[in-house]
Amino acid sequence: MQEQDGHIKVVSLLSGGLDSSTLLGYLVSQNYSIVALSFNYGQRHRRELRAATEIANYYKVEHRIMSVDLRQIGGSALTDSIDVPDINVDSIGKDIPPTYVPARNTILLSIALGLAEVVGARKIFIGANSLDYSGYPDCRPEYFESINKTFNLATKATVEGRSISVEAPLLNFSKADIVRLAEKLHVPLELTWSCYRGGKKACGTCDSCKLRLKGFMEANSVDPIEYERYPEFYSRYLKSR
């Protein structure tokens, strides 16, 4: 992580999940001047937007919710009526799952770039992490390196000498590392929402729930949010504590 870099204006993508919420907590601890940016992209449930709003309010940062309807593109279990799969936690990261949304990070970061230019932000933060990247091509380090070069050519701001960089400081963090960081920073994890399904409680069976619970387990901690049912490995872990 970088040195204290206070009062620089930044845009930080905030889905309301574990990663982006921890990232926000980190940026707050570093005294950045933050615009948190969430997207209503036609996700099948809005539960995560509620989480994002609660977390932005908790941290008292400016929060924008922008609309871009990725259902118009289709091709994903997160926006279409394709089923969100129950997944074997060991297969995560090996294949690109049906929850992949075509070009999502590229689209969302591009919109963030426009906003960063208008509000005068110097950095765009995203909570992507590659160790548990669940097979998404647009969460890989080489992807972020390249989009930084493109963004550096793309705007009036950069042409005029004000560079806007994309930063993914959690890129090499495991979920367990993120849980540890969140706890150290006292991030209100009880407000976060990672589940791909939109029930009253997190499902506990989609790959996002399983990755999250695996992270808490490996960090030797307990997830404060409620689940419909725990996956086998997490039930065993709770009993063993």
User: CA dist 10 to 38, 145, 158, 163, 204, Å?
Assistant: 14, 18, 15, 12, 33
Measured CA angle at 43 (ends 168, 187), to 5 deg: 45
User: CA dist 151 to 12, 29, 118, 132, 169, Å?
Assistant: 16, 27, 14, 25, 18
Q: Does 107 bind a second copy (CB under 8 A)?
A: yes
Pick between residue 70 and residue 225 the one whose CB is nearest to a second copy.
70
Site track for a second copy across 19-58, x = CB under 8 A: ----------------------------------------
Residue selected from 31, 91, 146, 172 as contacting a second copy according to rule CB under 8 A? 146
Residue selected from 19, 48, 138, 207 as contacting a second copy according to rule CB under 8 A? 138
Rounded Cα–Cα distance for residues 55 and 61 (Å): 9
Per rule CB under 8 A, count of chain residues that contact a second copy: 43
Residue selected from 44, 64, 93, 228 as contacting a second copy according to rule CB under 8 A? 64
Picking from 207, 224, 220, the residue whose alpha carbon sits closest to that of residue 97 is: 207
Q: Does 101 bind a second copy (CB under 8 A)?
A: yes
Q: Does 89 bind a second copy (CB under 8 A)?
A: no
Token pair belonging to 200: 């009253």
Residue 70 CB: number of other CB atoms within 10 A? 22
**Interface positions with a second copy (CB under 8 A):** 64, 66-70, 72-75, 96, 100-107, 110-111, 113-115, 117-118, 137-138, 140, 142-143, 146-147, 149-151, 153-156, 158-160
